[in-house]
Amino acid sequence: MSFSITLPDGSKKDFTDAVSISDLAHGIGTSLGKAALGAKVNGQIVALDYKLSKNAEVAIITDRDEEGLAILRDTVAFVLEAVAKKAYPEIHFGEHGTDDEGFYVDTDKENQIKINELPDLEKAVKKVIKAGEKIASCMMSKDELADIFNDDPYKSEMLKAEKGDQVQVYKLGDFIDFGFDALLPNTGKIKQFKLLSVAGAYWKGQSSNPMLQRISGTAFFKKADLDADIKRREEIKERDHRTIGRDLDLFFVDPKVGAGLPYWMPKGATIRRVVERYIIDKEVADGYQHVYTPVLMNVDAYKTSGHWAHYRDDMFPPMDMGDGEMLELRPMNCPSHIQIYKHHIRSYRELPIRIAELGMMHRYEKSGALSGLQRVREMTLNDGHTFVTLDQVQSEFSKILTLILDVYKDFDITDYYFRLSYRDPKNTKKYFANDEMWERSQSMLKKAMDDMGLDYVEAEGEAAFYGPKLDIQTKTALGADETMSTIQLDFMLPERFNLTYVGQDGEEHRPVMIHRGIVGTMERFIAYLIEIYKGAFPTWLAPVQVEIIPVNLDAHSDYAKKVRDELNKRGFRAEADLRNEKLGYKIRESQTQKVPYTLVLGDKEIKDKGVNVRRYGTEEEVAKSFDEFISEIKQDVKSYSREE
């Protein structure tokens, strides 16, 4: 038997006997042998004791590789399972895994693991690490494993999904588990780790399944990396829109009455209403006709549009109305706006026709993917569709982009870049086949961006199934890359829905459809704003703009109410704190609620017909006349709280 191993640099090593990954790495170099954590064999991650016996392409994995970090985190997850099983013999295990954030292990027992139990589990894991215990791997038959896991319904179900009669398992003492690509050979190689949280997680991410307890953690090779990650997580926690939304009483989601369905509390609804009014006014001023369309539509419309074929898994099941009609909760608004366009015969003189809507949509997100306002099942999209002639495409594209950038200025969004998203010509399943259309529309987008002198990146495979698009990618407060706005060219839907307009020649012509979203969904956009501002909204967006506090309830409440009423009459959002609490407590509470202006009113303010003003984030108090304060807050709101 002879075989060759091809290394990443193209060199080859020949062998006559089977060789382990560990021996191969040592044979290449002593330092590589010591650093090796596993390998990729023909693209598959394997452990150090994996035996090579035939031709293969092999890349040794070290702590410098992403795969090395995954091996480390998988190993900690495995050790965590082992110590949890020892601490709680009755425990069952669901899924485990790693990602960019760390690792997780799903567990189930009568009294689920609580957050205050993590320190003891962490201490037990550290003890095993210190002992440097061996982690062995071997192959076992499914029948043997079925006996071992016969009392664990989750492991038994996962075992059935394993391919073949033999399954690779890992052992730590008496503990056995499967489902890991590769683990470290002994626990002593684990470096830095931290158990972070416990949370509910449905078995296989489906709400119809049992709720398990997910233990999450992270691990790194260097302490500095772990410290930096923990610091980053603290920043995330401070900015987490779910936490801020709870603390400021903006919204809530209750899985008992509907997972992924947010309830907007009065303050959150106020922020949303301000944003919606702003967007509608901007769009109307820019020539859009705002409409309302139903959230239900015959499923045949989505079959015509292609959404049914491409996004069926993300759509709710159709509702059988009993008379042969099947209605679908709409997952997007474009077919609805197409119906608005088709309702009348259109002339070239009318084009461009701009239709916009704050359109409610529903998408079936799996329970495990739901997250606050960012991933929901019901959402309202700031949606718009423009119907243009072919020679109007470029000018309309520029007009839409100018509107988007104007909105960004008002919201002080500055960290973004442009991405031209093209089809992947090899992916004939996702993208409809019409090479001429794709080439034409992609070149149109590119020319429009070039003519505007804007820099952009190009991304193959990111287009919508019906056409290429410009995506404006923003950085969230937590550093994630997210699509905020999009402009999409579409030659396909006008064809499928037989859209026409009467041209100057009296003949019917096909319009081009431009899909655009300025700030995406209200839910995700407000989550973005909450995290960017840490809940301290600029005055024009703040749910309560002015908090009025009387020094003495008996002596100063009437004046406080008078000031509140006058501010409300002038269009500002003001409240008076008339609770029977100490003055200092009320002032601190106003700061905690991040109200832009706090007015403290006592004898002097009544005498001078003025106010004592304290801005959020400062301890400075400034006496002003009422008219001076009105001028200040009016300018603050008018300028969108920007420093001019």
| Annotated binding-site positions for Zn(2+) | 334, 385, 515
Phi, psi of 409 (to 5 degrees): -60, -45
The pair of structure tokens assigned to 539 is 């005055």
Burial class (CB in 10 A: 0-12, 13-18, 19+), 580: exposed
Helix (H, G, I), strand (E, B) or coil at 632: helix
Helix (H, G, I), strand (E, B) or coil at 340: helix
H/E stretch holding 451: helix 435-451
Write down the number of H helices and E strands in the chain. 21, 34
Rounded to an integer, what distance in angstroms lies between the CA atom of residue 120 and that of residue 27? 42
> Is residue 609 left, alpha or beta, with left meaning phi > 0 and alpha meaning psi from -120 to 50?
left
- Antiparallel, parallel or unpaired: β 211-220 and 51-52: unpaired
Rounded to an integer, what distance in angstroms lies between the CA atom of residue 591 and that of residue 536? 10
Helix (H, G, I), strand (E, B) or coil at 232: helix
Helix (H, G, I), strand (E, B) or coil at 348: coil
Tell me how long the chain is. 644
Do 470 and 419 contact (CB within 8 A), yes or no? Answer: yes
Residues within the annotated binding site?
334, 385, 515
Phi, psi of 39 (to 5 degrees): -160, 160
Residue recorded with tokens 């749910």: 543
Do 549 and 590 contact (CB within 8 A), yes or no? Answer: yes
Cis peptide, bond prior to residue 352, ω within 30 of zero: yes
Helix (H, G, I), strand (E, B) or coil at 506: coil
b (16+ CB within 10 A) / e for 331-363 = bbbbbbbbebbeeeebeeeebbbbbbbbbbbbb
Q: How far is CA 298 from the centre of its chain?
A: 30
Q: What DSSP designation does 622 have? A: E
Do 330 and 361 contact (CB within 8 A), yes or no? Answer: yes
Query: Could you tell me which residues come within 8 angstroms of residue 482 by beta carbon, excluding any fewer than 6 positions away?
Result: 473, 474, 475, 476, 524, 528
Residue recorded with tokens 């900690």: 76
The pair of structure tokens assigned to 119 is 């320190």
b (16+ CB within 10 A) / e for 610-638 = bbbbbbbeeeeeeebebeebbebbeebbe
Give the DSSP letter string of 100-151. TTEEEEEEE-SS---GGGHHHHHHHHHHHHHHT-B-EEEEEEHHHHHHHTTT
Rounded to an integer, what distance in angstroms lies between the CA atom of residue 255 and that of residue 516? 32
